[in-house]
Chain A
Amino acid sequence: NAGVTQTPKFRILKIGQSMTLQCTQDMNHNYMYWYRQDPGMGLKLIYYSVGAGITDKGEVPNGYNVSRSTTEDFPLRLELAAPSQTSVYFCASRPEQGPIYGYTFGSGTRLTVV
């Protein structure tokens, strides 16, 4: 039972480069989320999806894009990396039935933009 899988675990980008953070879950969860965690801060929501083909912005969406073509995958795209995007990124998913069933988090991607 893999749960939520994030790749890569670590990445160093140069300013202006682009990359995609991958997130896959095998639990058939409709709801998926991308959070970022800055040092000394809690997690902030970047984007979320309530099902395949449906995405919406969270609290800090600028500089990011997402897509949800399948239930399993929810990639996060950085188009023009900036130092302010240096952070740890977490993907999460949960069943449609609501918070009572809890959220499953991936192990995170540590991104450094230099």
Chain B
Amino acid sequence: AQKVTQAQTEISVVEKEDVTLDCVYETRDTTYYLFWYKQPPSGELVFLIRRNSFDEQNEISGRYSWNFQKSTSSFNFTITASQVVDSAVYFCALSEVYSGAGSYQLTFGKGTKLSVIP
């Protein structure tokens, strides 16, 4: 069964600091997708990134970057020069392609609450 672990429950940083959110996953599939979602205080889920298991190239998008390492089953997320608007709960999620009885469901971690202090 697939599993996602976000060991950091809460993180607080001072504005302009860099912060890395950790995500470790478990799956028996060789083909899968990993996601990061942001949930601001307003409650909606905002899609940030999707990565497939065959693409280990790290990605940078503005102040966001992602480090995908299959060898350690990790998909970490870094915010550079954090801002108050980054304060939110961040979820890592996994979707298997061949398992899960064809549901392609997303399995979420418990989330990391990030507080950026001005």
Contact = CB atoms under 8 A, between A and B. Distances in A.
A88 B43 contact: yes
A56 interface: yes
A100 B106 contact: no
A31 B95 CA distance: 13
A95 to B, nearest CB: 10
Nearest to B110: A42
A43 B103 contact: no
Given A105-B45, A107-B44, A43 B97 contact: no
Given A48-B105, A90-B45, A102-B47, A43 B91 contact: yes
Contact of B106 (A40, A43, A98): A43
Chain B interface category by residue count: 20 to 34
Interface string B24-51: 0000000011010000000111010010
A42 B111 contact: yes
A75 interface: no
Contact residue range for chain A?
20 to 34
A110 interface: yes
B43 A107 contact: yes
B91 A98 contact: no
Name the prevailing secondary structure of the A interface residues: strand
Interface string B1-24: 000101001000000000000000
A90 B106 CA distance: 12
A35 B45 CA distance: 12
A46 B89 CA distance: 21
A45 B105 contact: yes
B101 A108 contact: no
Contacts of A58: 103, 105
Given A99-B50, A99-B104, A103-B35, 19 more contacts: A33-B106, A35-B106, A35-B108, A40-B9, A41-B110, A42-B6, A42-B93, A43-B91, A50-B103, A56-B103, A58-B103, A58-B105, A98-B97, A99-B95, A100-B50, A102-B35, A103-B47, A105-B44, A105-B47
13 contacts: A41-B111, A42-B110, A43-B91, A44-B108, A45-B106, A50-B102, A88-B43, A99-B50, A99-B104, A99-B106, A105-B44, A107-B44, A108-B45
